[in-house]
Structure 1
Amino acid sequence: MGTDKDLIVSETLNLLNNSDRFTEMSKLHNPYGDGKACHRIVEFIKNQK
């Protein structure tokens, strides 16, 4: 999508007005992981001797 303001607005409205599209989008795999990397790193460091 990039930074195109009109495309961002259009796609946002599409998601808000189309429950099937929203459900489809919300089930996509997150390519950036599960958001728990910081916790794992802290636990790893705490357990080092």
Structure 2
Amino acid sequence: MTAAVVGTMVASLPPSCSAVTIGGTTYEQCGATWYQPQYIGTQVQYVVVPAP
């Protein structure tokens, strides 16, 4: 499995992710990959971000 590229947007998360709040910002940690939710209209998309 290759690492996700920072800035990549996905519509759904892989299984076994955990919500983590750091400094008031909520991230989804999926193994070594971190996602930050963003709303595009009424749809949520997840953006790969560097580990906080």
TM-score over 0.5 for the alignment? no
Q: Which has the higher strand share?
A: 2
Kindly indicate whether structure 1 or structure 2 has the higher relative contact order, using CA contacts under 8 Å at least 6 residues apart.
2
Q: Which has the higher helix share?
A: 1
